[in-house]
A = this chain, B = another copy of it.
Amino acid sequence: MRMMSTTTPHGMNERAQVILKTLIDCFIRDGEPVGSRTIARESGLDLSPASIRNALLDLEEQGYLQSPHTSAGRVPTVRGYRVFVDSLLTVQPIDAAQLAMLERELVADEALTRQQVLDTASRLLSGITHMAGVVTLPRREQLGLRHIEFLPLSERQVLAVLVFDGQEVQNRIVRVDRSFTAAELQQVSNYLNSLFIGKGIAQVREALVEEMRRTRADMDALMRTAVELASVALEAPDEADYVIAGQSNLMDFKELSDIEKLRALFDAFTAKREMLRLLDQALEAQSAQIFIGEESGYRVLDDCSVVSAPYRVDGQVVGVLAVIGPTRMAYQRVIPIVDITARLLGSALNLSG
């Protein structure tokens, strides 16, 4: 019994922690099962391999480690990684050159459109980490409406142009049952703009309902038309989506070299649905988050981890960005990179808006 030694949040004495940390550090670095000899050499603990072996046995029993087979070294389990990222990990300061690059490419260039900013962000994430970088599109729901305009498109089609805060422009084609002249639509636009400018979509919807009720009786034709057009244009739900870069980086990791799994993963990126559900969770969380291996609850990501952070426009969380890579990733390096990129992306969007 080692009841006397310092215990810690995980019911693990200090030595066990050092050993676990060393093992995971080595494994992340080399990608191969780690043996007692290596840990004895690198932990700084001044213990013989035999002693380390005893400790390893305990850690394995507690479910932090496992060995692929009898005579290989040991490998961290998801549980092992969990304590590692939660309390063992020492975050590396971000590389100065990389930070400079992020700032230069994201914030310094004001001429970028929103789409370009998002593309750049995911490209930078993937480039710096050598894994896949994902950025969800900002949720319009959270953004203020800055302008609305209707243009005649054809007999039965009207083009709605919605301009939001944060460089966001959207086009919607609205089918209508009579034709409108440019002048009519101009009036409609003016009327709606006077009502809605600066409000968020949710507020606008409320205002629309209110307006419909208020003017039911004494509503003139123009106003009725305006309200109807606006309803249609705004009713389509916020389609969640994301941009991804560096997918193919994932092909370089031997733990993902199984072509079947890789294919499933790539298909999942393309299908987007499940992926978005996962990223939505990260959005709700409102702060940096890490899913390790099976924790995501999403099969194709069983051998992957997702490091995510939400980004803000106007103080509101509007999207998340994430790095996806093998469970064995350099969390110390990736976490701060994701974090700072989220912040920079936020300010890039604020500033270009």
Contact = CB atoms under 8 A, between A and B. Distances in A.
A12 interface: no
A88 interface: no
A133 to B, nearest CB: 12
Contacts of A257: 259
Interface in A243-264: 245, 247-248, 251-252, 257, 259, 262-263
B262 A251 contact: yes
Nearest to A256: B259
Contact of A151 (B113, B152, B161, B247): B161
A43 interface: no
Interface of A: 111, 113, 146-147, 149, 151-154, 159, 161, 163, 167, 169, 171, 173, 175, 186, 245, 247-248, 251-252, 257, 259, 262-263, 266-267, 270, 353
A259 B263 contact: no
Nearest to A123: B270
10 contacts: A111-B175, A113-B173, A147-B151, A151-B161, A151-B163, A169-B171, A248-B263, A248-B270, A251-B259, A257-B259
Contact of A159 (B169, B186, B270): B169
Contact of A248 (B151, B161, B267): B267
Contacts of A151: 147, 149, 161, 163
Q: Which 3 A-B pairs have the closest CB atoms?
A: A248-B266, A251-B263, A169-B171
A85 to B, nearest CB: 29
